[in-house]
Structure 1
Amino acid sequence: MQYLLIKWRIIFLVLFGMLSGCGSGDSMESFGGPTMGSTYSIKYVRHAGLPAPDEVRVQVEQILADVDRQMSTYRSDSDIERFNALPANRCQAMPASILELVRVGEQLSVQSEGSYDLTVEPLLNLWGFGPQAREEKVPTAEALAEVRKRVGHQHLRIDGDRLCKDAAVEVDFNSIAAGYAVDTIAARLEAMGIRDFLAEATGELKASGKKADGSPWRIALEEPRDDRQLAERVIDVDGYGLSTSGDYRNYFEQGGQRFSHTFDARTGAPVSHALASVTVIHPSALMADGLSTLLLILGPERGWDYAEKHDIGAFFVIRADTGFVTRSSHAFERLCGKKTE
């Protein structure tokens, strides 16, 4: 099976030791596996009467399989790829989950003045980053102009339970699908009576409650380096989703210039600013996922202004001549407190 390849992430380091419980029979349970071209992991405190890991795993993997079947751009039989294959002026019945993500994508596109857009898949393919990509290279101006005719959320329309398009657009959920999956998993865990957990898929995560020893879930945000892992910031998380987007692992170079996989839909080209990564903390993992991409597209100045205007908890890592510098929005500092060494 091919899995949906989610945008490259900075790896989250979950900090926890050997936990023995609190003397009440509580224990830390964990499991994980492959998903969406990456991995997922679930950790939860099993109080008396709560399901065993094998029971929870079945529920979690069914959610991940549903997301893959509905939203993967790497399998031709997924709901969204069948829609993408339709010509202009056609509609297709869709599950509620896909219609929800289309609405979220439209909201983020409008708020970013078109920089963020779910219909960038033709651009990804043209530049060599998408599922139908042939070669990583800078396209000609003529090829770019032609592809841009098929990009823009304004070409999508929801009609009841159908998704319609008036141009041959192709939808790509890679910037929000994992966050949606994490939110759905978190809701399922809570429905099973599990209140203390950390759910993670492809680097998107949501934490709730405490660990078995009563300590908080602590997450280390990694400095954007390829040679080794360095914790840039350590935060406690309870009741929030967390997402980090970075442009430093998926790129190519041509003519001495670096081209990343992060696109501004308004220009049809990869971003060229100094923002290396941005982490967003939000009650919804779905919104954290989408907003981290949006802010990465906007860059260190426009992204900062957007985060402050909309009271978004965001942590920026910016390239500088001497390495990296960091900047936190006021909402991030309010939610995460002072820097923990």
Structure 2
Amino acid sequence: MLIRWQGVALLLLGALSGCGNGNTLESFGGPTMGSTYSIKYVRHAGLAAPDEVRVQVEQILADIDRQMSTYHSDSDIERFNALPANRCQAMPASILELVRVGEQLSVQSDGSYDLTVEPLLNLWGFGPQAREEKVPSAEALAEVRQRVGHQHLRIDGDQLCKDAAVEVDFNSIAAGYAVDTIASKLEAMGIHDYLAEATGELKASGRKADGSPWRIALEEPRDDRQVAERVIVVDGYGLSTSGDYRNYFEQGGQRFSHTFDARSGAPVSHNLASVTVIHPSALMADGLSTLLLILGPERGWDYAEKHDIGAFFVIRADTGFVTRSSHAFERLSGKKTE
């Protein structure tokens, strides 16, 4: 299974019942990627029954797990990760697509975002091969950093190659990719009013059975209870939240989160608690929310404004949390609802 380390901070609001116009809002879900998925769609006359839709969705999720899981030694990516330096392996198109997206985000963040941080996650106690949550020695950190860096990856035709013993981890973009793939399948089946969600990443299109919009609550980044920070309308966009508040450890009075800056090899230390990104692609929303969380409240904000990214920042302050939203977020997120 893929294990999602990002903060899940998106809550669907509104009734899920049918409507008197003959349309019904169908829903189903289950476990995936170490978390859960859920599909809700309006079933018009002639559209597929939930069981048929569910078969298609779960096949997509099973394929992604088989290809990209870092928790199955026989997955495509784990077989690649086990290779020594200067080796290549044929890969499915989906993996090569995500590697290209990862390279794009790495270049745009000056190397802060990187798909090859799995050795760092393991070293600090957050990865699939982790032994203990602790601050590593300088020597151990220096050794592992030699095996981190997107520049060590190369695509040659249908093969993924590496010139160092790097390990690729898709946890920051795989769920977004899954949501986009599911959304494309729903559209191909004639389903245009839906909300597809996997591990908190989602995409919504159209409206519910009663004609009301899909309304999503952005959850306040806290681990004791759920509190809606803001409610937005989503139609035709993907939405992803990354946060550092549900997977961390403390040592010597200092907090260490699972969010890593690949340039330093250490968890980020700023006061940005979570970032929500709205984007036409759930894949890009997923990756960009992680990238902005790594960059922090100042660099992340500048990046979002420069690249016209719809981003909602929740920042820790002495009195609690303060929020800040980019101009693109206000434009793309629909009517604000308090």
Normalised-by-shorter TM-score class: over 0.9
| Whole-Å separation in 2 of the counterparts to 1:16 and 1:256 | 38
Residue deviations 1:56-103, cap 9 Å, x none? 000000000000000000000000000000000000000000000000
| Whole-Å separation in 2 of the counterparts to 1:45 and 1:147 | 49
Q: Check conservation: 2:275, 2:311, Cα contact below 8 A.
A: yes
Q: Check conservation: 1:26, 1:48, Cα contact below 8 A.
A: yes
Distance 1:297 1:49, change over 3 A: same
CA apart distance, 1:233:
0.7
- Aligned residue number for residue 202 of structure 2: 205
CA apart distance, 1:226:
1.2
| Whole-Å separation in 2 of the counterparts to 1:242 and 1:148 | 32
Q: Check conservation: 2:2, 2:65, Cα contact below 8 A.
A: no
CA apart distance, 1:21:
4.3
| Whole-Å separation in 2 of the counterparts to 1:75 and 1:331 | 39
Q: Structure 1 residues 224-233 or 79-88, which shifts more?
A: 224-233
SS at match of 1:28: strand
Residue deviations 1:220-241, cap 9 Å, x none? 0000111110000100000000
Distance 1:220 1:17, change over 3 A: closer
| Whole-Å separation in 1 of the counterparts to 2:326 and 2:308 | 8
Distance 1:337 1:188, change over 3 A: closer
- Aligned residue number for residue 171 of structure 1: 168
Residue deviations 1:88-121, cap 9 Å, x none? 0000000000000000000000000000000000
From 139, 147, 160, the counterpart of 2:157: 160
Q: Check conservation: 1:156, 1:166, Cα contact below 8 A.
A: yes
Q: Check conservation: 2:30, 2:36, Cα contact below 8 A.
A: yes
SS at match of 2:59: helix
| Whole-Å separation in 1 of the counterparts to 2:141 and 2:158 | 33
CA RMSD of aligned residues (A): 1.1
SS at match of 1:228: coil
Give the count of matched residue pairs.
Answer: 338
Gaps in structure 1 of 5+ consecutive residues: none
CA apart distance, 1:334:
1.0
| Whole-Å separation in 2 of the counterparts to 1:52 and 1:12 | 30
CA apart distance, 1:15:
3.9
CA apart distance, 1:14:
4.1
CA apart distance, 1:336:
1.8
| Whole-Å separation in 2 of the counterparts to 1:71 and 1:244 | 21
Q: Check conservation: 1:6, 1:175, Cα contact below 8 A.
A: no
Q: Check conservation: 1:12, 1:219, Cα contact below 8 A.
A: no
Gaps in structure 2 of 5+ consecutive residues: none
CA apart distance, 1:315:
0.1
Q: Structure 1 residues 328-337 or 237-246, which shifts more?
A: 328-337
Distance 1:153 1:19, change over 3 A: closer
| Whole-Å separation in 2 of the counterparts to 1:251 and 1:17 | 32
| Whole-Å separation in 2 of the counterparts to 1:14 and 1:89 | 45
Distance 1:30 1:148, change over 3 A: same
Residue deviations 1:112-157, cap 9 Å, x none? 0000000000000000100000011111111100100000000000
| Whole-Å separation in 2 of the counterparts to 1:75 and 1:153 | 22
Q: Check conservation: 2:11, 2:218, Cα contact below 8 A.
A: no
CA apart distance, 1:161:
0.1
CA apart distance, 1:16:
4.4
CA apart distance, 1:9:
3.7
CA apart distance, 1:340:
1.3
Distance 1:297 1:190, change over 3 A: same
Distance 1:45 1:125, change over 3 A: same
Residue deviations 1:277-311, cap 9 Å, x none? 00000000000000000000000000000000000
